[in-house]
């Protein structure tokens, strides 16, 4: 499993297992990050410290995949300046946090001069002899390759298209208009990963289910020949083919097989800054995940907005890092997931939505902390001094962020789980409340049918609010599954328990 460690210098990630003792996790992090860990807590205010219970396995603390531990660490932070800082200066940019850094005894991030091990294999790393006594040439080459990335311009995309719920998009952009789109904001996208041909309106869907004219147009759009692909060619045993037809077949075979259907947004607890959105610890996150799971949904994307007027670049390093972290956590570290990233901004007064997928190389570099932000060049990433990046067969100290993304076609649909219920974590407008729930339930009358009640509750935001009323995950799971069974085609309707109905109406202040 993957455990996240919140420190003064950012979020670290460490692979471990539920049965591993806490001592093993601490020792691994201290070795890899060249720090000394003084405190480990389950709470951000360090009110639940566990470092004195090192012999216990992580499962006994209730630590699961994706959970956050709060760490007070002291010592050098590898790969946090040096060459990367120099490269930023050479290119007229200012590297955020440039120069060597360390965490002092008080937990503060401070400048640390001349603390790089002169015998280190790479800046920020220990010497080879410290890591292993005997090395072969093959060992050294393989070890060096772990810290080398060769940027490739044409990387395969793993997301064929993304269909977004139109109402959720509209409500999100209306809220942004209250601030003239000047306040950055983000949302988690919940939906399903599906076969590309199962997304209505997509090229693949038209190619399979459309009329003959639509199938021909879809074939032309994908560069496909008349129903042939490289795999089909191999199966047929044909030996000769024109070069141009072969190129078309290769293009068809390389198209992504999966896409995304987004049914719901959730706007987590966050702060807007000049750099972008800063995600905060959200006490509702587990409840939101439980609601999504009960509805048959999962986190499939990350949406962010930025102010209008951006010129010269598509996505900042801060935005790349935020999106990559969400993708890695949502997909258990998969590099070939169709996880989608959606950017929202305003152009000439109209909201503009663009979708991307992150390249596997981008995900790997973010996971390894290989890229750093540049204040004066946000559309480019400085390379962490511990790593080497090759672009067009030359070493590079700065990388254009366009190398990290692939554009994804956007479609729209109507979700069965969209509605007008107030959103959490907004600073303006209505808040989720019993009064808002009353507005949902009151029009149904005293004894609504299961179908009518399920339709009224079929709003992702309403179901999240109900987690405030029902403490048990079992209760909210039962309600959400009943709701889904009435509004999702093809499911057998499951009645909502009478006790749940009475409690909901009572909490809304409606006599039933």
pLDDT tens, position by position, 479-505: 999 999 999 999 999 999 999 999 999
Chain centre distance of CA 308 = 23
Q: Considering only CA atoms, give the Rg of the chain.
A: 26
Q: Which fold has domain 162-197+258-413?
A: Cytidine Deaminase; domain 2 (3.40.140)
pTM score: 0.76
Whole-angstrom Cα distance, residue 4 to residue 36?
Answer: 17
Q: Tokens at residue 123, please?
A: 């800046």
pLDDT at position 314 over 90: yes
Mean pLDDT of 114-132: 60
- Of the candidates 365, 400, 364, 366, the residue with the CA atom closest to the CA atom of residue 381: 400
* Phi, psi (deg, nearest 5) at residue 289: -60, -40
Mean pLDDT of 51-72: 90
Count of alpha carbons within 13 angstroms of residue 410, beta-carbon side: 18
Q: Tokens at residue 297, please?
A: 């949904």
Mean predicted lDDT score pLDDT of the chain = 83
- The correct answer on CATH 3.10.20.90 for the domain covering 2-139 is yes
Domain borders along the chain are 2-139, 162-197+258-413, 203-253, 434-507
CA distances from 273 to 59, 184, 185, 278 (A): 36, 8, 10, 7
pLDDT of residue 221: 62
pLDDT of residue 96: 42
CA geometry: angle 26, 29, 33, nearest 5 deg: 145
Share of the chain above pLDDT 70, in %: 80
pLDDT at position 66 over 50: yes
């Amino acid at each position: 499993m993957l455990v996240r460690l919140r420190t003064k210098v950012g979020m670290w990630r460490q692979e471990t297992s539920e049965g591993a003792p806490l001592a093993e996790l601490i020792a691994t992090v201290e070795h890899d990050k060249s720090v000394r860990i003084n405190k480990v807590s389950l709470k951000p205010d360090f009110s639940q410290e566990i470092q004195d219970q090192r012999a216990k396995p992580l499962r006994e603390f209730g630590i699961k995949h994706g959970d956050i531990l709060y760490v007070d660490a002291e010592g050098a932070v590898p790969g946090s300046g040096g060459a990367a800082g120099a490269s930023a200066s050479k290119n007229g940019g200012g590297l955020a946090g440039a120069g060597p850094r360390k965490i002092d005894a008080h937990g503060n991030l401070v400048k640390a001069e001349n603390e790089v091990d002169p015998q280190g294999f790479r800046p920020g790393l220990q010497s080879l002899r410290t890591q292993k006594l005997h090395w072969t040439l093959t060992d050294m080459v393989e070890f060096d390759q772990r810290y080398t990335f060769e940027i490739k311009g044409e990387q395969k995309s793993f997301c064929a298209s993304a269909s977004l719920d139109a109402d959720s998009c509209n409500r999100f952009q209306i809220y942004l208009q209250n601030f003239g789109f000047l306040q950055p904001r983000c949302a988690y996208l919940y939906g399903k990963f599906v076969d590309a041909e199962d997304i209505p309106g997509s090229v693949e869907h038209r190619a399979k289910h459309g009329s003959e004219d639509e199938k021909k147009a879809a074939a032309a759009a994908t560069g496909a020949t008349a129903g042939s692909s490289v795999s089909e060619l191999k199966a047929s045993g044909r030996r000769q083919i024109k070069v141009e037809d072969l190129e078309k077949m290769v293009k068809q075979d390389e198209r992504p097989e999966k896409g995304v259907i987004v049914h719901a947004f959730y706007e987590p607890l966050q702060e807007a800054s000049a750099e972008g959105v800063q995600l905060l610890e959200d006490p509702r996150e587990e409840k939101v995940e439980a609601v999504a799971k009960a509805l048959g949904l999962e986190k499939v994307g990350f949406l962010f907005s930025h102010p209008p007027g951006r010129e010269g670049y598509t996505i900042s390093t801060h935005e790349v890092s935020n999106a990559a972290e969400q993708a890695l956590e949502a997909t258990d570290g998969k590099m070939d997931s169709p996880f989608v990233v959606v950017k929202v901004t305003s152009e000439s007064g109209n909201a503009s939505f663009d979708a991307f997928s992150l390249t596997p190389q981008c995900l790997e570099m973010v996971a390894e902390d290989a890229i750093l932000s540049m204040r004066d060049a946000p559309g480019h990433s400085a390379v962490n001094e511990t790593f080497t990046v090759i672009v067009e067969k030359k070493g590079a100290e700065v990388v254009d962020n366009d190398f990290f993304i692939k554009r994804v076609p956007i479609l729209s649909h109507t979700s069965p789980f969209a509605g007008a219920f107030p959103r959490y974590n907004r600073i303006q407008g209505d808040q989720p409340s019993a009064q808002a729930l009353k507005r949902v339930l009151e029009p149904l009358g005293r004894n609504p049918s299961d179908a009518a009640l399920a339709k009224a509750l079929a709003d992702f935001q309403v179901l999240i609010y109900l987690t405030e009323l029902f403490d048990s995950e079992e209760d909210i799971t039962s309600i959400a599954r009943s709701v889904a069974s009435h509004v999702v085609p093809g499911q057998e309707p499951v009645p909502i328990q009478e006790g749940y109905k009475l409690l909901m109406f009572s909490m809304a202040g409606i006599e039933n």
